[in-house]
Amino acid sequence: MKKIVLATVALTAFAFADAPAAYATCKACHGVKGEVNVTTQSKSHVPANLAKADIEKALHGYKDGSYGGPMKALMKGQVAKLTDADIKALADYMGK
């Protein structure tokens, strides 16, 4: 069992090493690669299940206030300082 846990940690660290710097604030809620749904009530999407274009659209929408449901206020604050390049890098990292 110990070997499996160590391998998982190593893979997790490797996957996050490829993440853009802007993803550092995302990982606490969305996991190492966007694979986590923030809440058990399905209030948010699993970013890794979305197309890159959909992630970009959502992040731009959160930023300008034109997108979002129950998590809109939280996400607006999270993406406020992201540049267009940051948003593209996040979409490329998490999306399909």
For the chain, list the domains and their CATH numbers.
2-94 (1.10.760)
Query: Residues with Cβ < 8 Å from 31, sequence gap 6 or more?
Result: 48
Return the sign of the alpha-carbon dihedral for residues 59, 89, 51, 74.
negative
Q: What are the φ and ψ backbone dihedral angles of 32, each rounded to 5 degrees?
A: -65, -35
Cα distances from 63 to residues 4, 5, 7, 28, in angstroms, run 40, 38, 37, 19
Q: What is the pLDDT of residue 28?
A: 83
Q: What is the pLDDT of residue 10?
A: 39
Q: What is the pLDDT of residue 60?
A: 96
Q: Across the 96 residues of the chain, what is the mean pLDDT of every consecutive 10-residue run? A: 43 55 86 75 75 95 90 90 95 91
